[in-house]
Amino acid sequence: EAATWQPSRFSRENSILPINSTVCPDLNDLWEIVYYIVPKYIDTVCIIGMLGNAFVLFTYSLHKGPLKIAEIYLMNLAAADLIFLTCLPFWAENIRNEFNWPFGNFLCRSTSTSISLNMYTSIYLLVAVSVDRYLTFVHTLDHRVIRRKTTAKGICLLAWLFGSLLSIPTFMFRTVKHFPLWNISACTLDFPTPLWVTTERLVFNIVGFALPSTAVIFLNFSTIRSLKKKARERRALGTRSCKEHKGAKATRLIFTVVLIFLLCWTPYHFFVFLDILYQTEVMKGCFWGELLNFGEQFGYTLAITNSCINPVIYVFAGKYFRQKASEVFSQFIPCGFPLSWVSFKVFILQQVSNPA
């Protein structure tokens, strides 16, 4: 299923060989490793990621200065990551329970829909912030109206609405279903026909990743190329632009966020694409079925790491975010706070701002 760790075998129950078939190898030992390791990994990512994204939202919300346009997008991205991570502990327990869903139909549907919504929203927020960087440094036409903060907030709202629209099938068809073959009741997408399964995965693969990723890659490489060209021209003329220098730093932060997103999510979508080929019988056989089951487990486990990494990127690659965080943090230092603690704080901030 596109929005959870549910093995693909649950969507092709009638198209694979039984577990005890002499043709298929017995991989129960490997699944035991999945049941043991993956939930622990998810729990760790959730704790770190929720604390990190809450810190990002806390910093942007309490800072006295106005948010820049790129920061509006990044704040919404942090909100999407935080909602996404709050749903994952349910799936960690689901895997620990060997995919036997213990939380009832309501949480099955609501957590799955929230996960789907925030996956779609995140990628289109990255498209929006990449368009903003592109218009700032590449496009030669006047784009002040497009880059107004009110417009940016409207675009964020559209991203959430579009994510909601794409998540409607998950909301409609996600349910707890009993699978006699494995003797479990799994939280799965129960589509009316196999065609629905293939269509849903195609939409997730193409609309949810391939198209926005292509746009993001084009926009960011165009922006980086334009910045390098302008830097060469400034060096040739012996001039410097403080505004463009700051813009270049902000663009490097955005580029890093986008790159990490693509590295984390590409393997999972690759296995989703292979599963589409398996569903349409372009690929056949027990080997491919089991490879896809384990491949999607690995791919999705890597993908959730992205929501944990983003706050770390803001701290180590975002100089202006660090400045805002230190200013917000300073508001909460008591007037009578020992000088040694203040000196220690300043030392730490200096080390973070100037890593070796």
* Closest among 97, 91, 300 to 182, alpha carbons compared: 97
345, pLDDT greater than 50: no
| Distances, alpha carbon 245 to alpha carbons 64, 126, 221, 324, in Å | 24, 22, 17, 18
Give this prediction's pTM.
0.82
Instruction: Name the average pLDDT for the chain.
Output: 81
What pLDDT sits at residue 145?
56
> Considering the domain boundaries, does residue 350 fall inside one?
no
> Considering the domain boundaries, does residue 280 fall inside one?
yes
> Considering the domain boundaries, does residue 302 fall inside one?
yes
Question: What is the domain count for the chain?
Answer: 1
pLDDT tens per residue across span 218-234? 998 888 888 888 777 77
What pLDDT sits at residue 142?
56
What pLDDT sits at residue 115?
92
> Considering the domain boundaries, does residue 138 fall inside one?
yes
User: Which range of residues forms the domain containing residue 323?
Assistant: 8-13+24-345
If residue 47 lies in a helix (H) or strand (E), which one and from where to where? helix 28-62
> Considering the domain boundaries, does residue 42 fall inside one?
yes
End-to-end CA, the chain: 43
Q: What CATH number is attached to the domain comprising 49?
A: 1.20.1070.10
> Considering the domain boundaries, does residue 351 fall inside one?
no
> Considering the domain boundaries, does residue 223 fall inside one?
yes
pLDDT tens per residue across span 69-119? 888 998 999 999 999 999 999 999 999 998 999 999 999 999 999 999 989
Own/partner long-range contacts of 102-109 (Cβ < 8 Å, ≥24 apart): 103/187, 104/176, 105/175, 105/176, 108/174, 108/175, 108/176, 108/187, 109/170, 109/171, 109/174, 109/175
> Considering the domain boundaries, does residue 289 fall inside one?
yes
Evaluate whether 67 touches 60 at the Cβ level (below 8 Å). yes
What pLDDT sits at residue 5?
56
pLDDT interval class at 319 (50, 70, 90)? confident
* Closest among 154, 151, 150 to 162, alpha carbons compared: 154
* Closest among 140, 131, 196 to 158, alpha carbons compared: 131
